[in-house]
Each structure stands twice: as C-alpha cells, then as structure tokens.
Structure 1
Amino acid sequence: MQNKNKTVIKSMDLLNLFLTHHKLSMNDMVQLSGMPKTSVHRMIGSLSDMGFLHKNKDGYYSLGLLFLQFGNLVAERLDIRHIALAIMEKLRDDIGFAVHLVLRDGEASIYIEKLDTHHPVRLFTKIGKKAPLYAGASSRTILAFMPDSETEAYLAEVELEPIGSGTILGKDELRALLAQTRQTGYSFSRSELEDYTAELSAPIFDHSGQIIAALSIAGLEVQFGEEHIPDLIQKVRSAAAEISLKLGYGGSRV
C-alpha cells in the first residue's frame, strides 16, 4: 500500500463490485465491501459527481456513462484489435465458429473482441469477460508463452478451482498441457469455462517475439468432432500467424 492513495484504492474496490452486480444500494456496497457506512457514503458522492456512478430514482447505483466513453476510447486505441479484425472476420466466415481475441490482464485473460456466429445457440463469452489464466484454451495459450519465470511464479501461487466440469485442477496436468501448447502451437479445451463448450486457440506474437494475445474459435463441444480438429487447428494457427506478421513478428516460436 506504500505510496498509494488509500482513498483511490477503496473507491476502486467499490467500483469493482459492479463487475458482478448490475446495480447496488448504498447498504449493499457497505455490506459487500466491509467499509464503514460514512466512508462509503462519502466515496459514492464523489464518484457520482464525477460521473463514475449513476443513482436511479429507486436509490440504486449503477456504473455511469463515463465508463462507456472510456471503454470506447480504449477499444479504439487497441491497435491489435484493428489489425486483427479483418482476419477474424475471414476466419469466422470460413469456419462458422465464434472468434475471439484475448489479451492478458494481470493474472487473468480478457476478451477484447468477439465475432459471433449466426447460429441460434450463443456462447457465454462477451467483450470484457475475464477468465483465470489456468482455465480455457485462450488463457492457457497466453500462460504457456509467457516468460518461464512469470509462468512458474503464477503456478506456484494460484489455486486451481473448478469453473466448468472440465477445468484442469492438477498442476502437474496443467504443466504438461502448457508444454504441449508450446510444442504444438495451439491449445484446446473442453468444458473448462462452461459445460458442453469447446475452444481452440493459438498465440499471437508482437515484433519482439513476446506473446501479446491469443486468437481462438469456440462453439458447442459437439461441433468439434475429431475428424474436423486438424483442419481447424491449421486455420486458427494460420490466422494467428497472419496477425503476428502484421504486428511485425518475423520469427518462429512454434
């Protein structure tokens, strides 16, 4: 906490409550945060005045429209998103699966772009959704190609908790899958983040050869028949390599 403004950090803790709650009363925020009511009341007033929170007529608070403005600016300024979009559209139209672009966000992965399919059944994924680095093909792709020291530090600290019925819960098994991903250049998961779904992912590298993102396709598990997977692997890896090339990557890590 040294050299950090405690009020700012506590205000951020309040805002983080809205990641999992659409709207909250002041009492809700007091209960969930564990902060004194007077402190919460003071911070809510400041956050509302600045446009970070909006109070409706029933007395409940939700995130203010200022976040939409900032969110749009962040999305517009993510060069990789613009570079990848045309390639993602081509891949989606070719294979008919949802296509995702995923970045690392600390000890999680975050979906920054999604192209959905025209199928009536849609996936749980959405832009802004996060997943732990140990769960799901995209997360595991990022974890596999992170610097070894960072990967090992993460594995030493993380507790593997079940999310879907197929979530990897053993660290030895996880390490083996990470090694396999580094060797083959792709990762595949079944029912790790949501039951009955599957995801196939490949790494995207920047001009320095560092992992910068993961490209993935996802759909219902039954759509990933064993006879189709080799062709899907080739297409996802090829699309990811094309994005890497446009980002200035000229090497071959896989």
Structure 2
Amino acid sequence: MNKTVVKTMEMLRLFVEHERLTLQQMVSLLQMPKTSVYRMAQSLLEMGFLQKIGDHYQLGLAFLSFGMLVAERLDLRQVALPVMRRIKEETKEAVNLVIRDGDEAIYIEKVETSEPVRVYTKVGRRAPLYAGACPRVLLTFMENEEQKRYIDHIELVAIAKNTIVDRQTLRNTIEQDRKRQYTVSYSELEDYSAAVAVPIFNYEGKVVAGLSIAGPEPRFSQEAVEHMVPILQRAAFEISKQLGFSRKG
C-alpha cells in the first residue's frame, strides 16, 4: 500500500477517539517527525478534511458531505432489491420489504411472483405491526420497553380470520418468534394468505426492516417454510451487512 495514504489514514483515525488535537499531540500519537505531521495536516486542511480552531485540529466539513452521500446511496430499497429478485427466482414466490412508520408497517418494495395464483400486495400498503409475518417481525425484534408499550396500548382489531386479537397470545407468539428468529402467519392480513419473515438490522444492531416471502396458504406447508427460512435469513444478513451490521457482540 502507498505509505503516504496509510499515514494519512492513521492521522484521520486519531479523530475517531479524539474530538480535537494539537499538532504536538498528533506527533506524540503518531510517533512521526513533526515536519511530516505538519505537512499532512496542512494538506488535509486545504482539502477540507481537517479544520483548525486556535491551536487545535478537528475533522472538517468535507466528511459531512461524504457521510450524507454514503447514507443516501445506501438506500435500503436499492440494497435489497437485487437480493429480493434472487429470492423470488429461488422460491418462485413474492418477496416483500417493509419498514416501520409509527404504529404501522409500510411496504416499500416488492418482487411479484410469476405464479398464476398469488397474494396481492402493493408498495405503499400499510398494516398494523401485530398482524402478518412481515409487519410483526418489526414488532418482534423491537427493543423490549418500546415493544411492551406498543402491546399494552394498541387496539387489536381483526383484519382477517386469524388476526391475533388477544394481547397474551401476541406476547406468546412474539416470544416464540424471537427465539427461532423468524415469523410466520396464516390468514392474518388476508384470508387464505401466508407469509414467513425475518428481520433486517442496521449498523447499530437495530431492526430497520422486515423481509418476507408471501403467497397462498397451500404453498406454505411446514416443509415449505423450513425451506424458505434459511434462504430468507441468508438474504437478510447480506442486506444487513451492507447497512453496516455485524454479528459481533
């Protein structure tokens, strides 16, 4: 690797742990000649990667622009869509992506099945977090206190013949699903429909989306679900990694 680039990165990494540093502090931390550190610092100042206030250096505004670009370009739909298309080819079923919006889930992307018998779902559809595998995966992996508040206060309304409308049943279902790391539903949002879903996590380890396979109930036997779950889990982890998630800790 280019030594100048490596040394420059070492200098910038100092500011991960230190908000502000003097030139002498950088020299001590880097164990480099003062003239070399000064030249690198001046170059980074001119490019906007560092700024100087008095005798102290700190990260410059250029990083703000880069950070915003990274965030914009890591659009969840953009990251997920190629993976969703691959799931559809592998399972021949529809694939949905949902995020939370208050007390609801909203479908933000879908890949339709090519099968003649299908479950109709459109982008923009909303559903309560307690109903259906994909919305409920957001509730299942929500932080405990927030999850408890939601369950205690939400009105559970029947949407289809198997919608969960009992709080204790909902708690038990969530506990089971959290242990096995996926959710399944049959006729909760629409009669004779089924779905299996897994969570997608961000760099903080927080659930930010649900990824599901959905279709008519007859195609979602226990054997079929057991085949779909590892496919979904691998896909969700791939998307999560691109959002900065790591299994560490």
Residue matched to 1:37: none
For residue 186 of structure 1, the aligned residue among 161, 182, 185 is: 182
**1:237 Cα deviation from its structure 2 partner:** 1.2
Do the aligned residues in 1 keep the contact of 2:200 with 2:211 (CA within 8 Å)? yes
Distance 2:166 2:153 in 1: 13
Residue matched to 1:206: 202
Distance 1:135 1:215 in 2: 15
For residue 230 of structure 1, the aligned residue among 226, 232, 237 is: 226
Distance change (3 Å), C-alpha of 1:244 and 1:227: same
**1:150 Cα deviation from its structure 2 partner:** 1.0
For residue 118 of structure 1, the aligned residue among 98, 110, 114 is: 114
Task: Check if 1:196 corresponds to 2:192.
Answer: yes
Residue matched to 2:51: none
Do the aligned residues in 2 keep the contact of 1:101 with 1:214 (CA within 8 Å)? yes
State the Cα RMSD in Å: 1.5
**1:183 Cα deviation from its structure 2 partner:** 1.0
Distance 1:133 1:228 in 2: 24
Task: Check if 1:80 corresponds to 2:80.
Answer: no
Distance 2:136 2:238 in 1: 20
Residue matched to 1:249: 245
Q: Which runs of 4+ in 1 moved over 6 A?
A: none
Equivalent residue of 1:101, what SS? strand
Alpha-carbon deviations, 1:164-208, whole Å to 9, x = none? Answer: 101011111100111112111100000000000001000000000
Residue matched to 2:94: 98
Distance 1:77 1:214 in 2: 20
Amino acid at match of 1:83: V
Task: Check if 1:151 corresponds to 2:147.
Answer: yes
Percent identity, aligned pairs only?
44
Do the aligned residues in 2 keep the contact of 1:124 with 1:194 (CA within 8 Å)? no
Do the aligned residues in 2 keep the contact of 1:189 with 1:198 (CA within 8 Å)? yes
What number of residue pairs does the alignment pair up?
Answer: 178
Residue matched to 1:177: 173
Which residues of structure 1 form unaligned runs of 5+? Answer: 1-75
Distance 1:106 1:252 in 2: 29
Q: TM (normalized to structure 1)? A: 0.68
Residue matched to 2:156: 160
Equivalent residue of 1:121, what SS? coil
Do the aligned residues in 2 keep the contact of 1:162 with 1:169 (CA within 8 Å)? yes
Distance change (3 Å), C-alpha of 1:122 and 1:230: closer
Distance change (3 Å), C-alpha of 1:252 and 1:119: farther
Distance change (3 Å), C-alpha of 1:78 and 1:123: farther
Amino acid at match of 2:100: R
**1:121 Cα deviation from its structure 2 partner:** 2.5
Equivalent residue of 1:126, what SS? coil
**1:122 Cα deviation from its structure 2 partner:** 3.1
Do the aligned residues in 2 keep the contact of 1:203 with 1:213 (CA within 8 Å)? yes
Distance 1:224 1:103 in 2: 23
Residue matched to 2:105: 109
For residue 215 of structure 1, the aligned residue among 200, 211, 216 is: 211
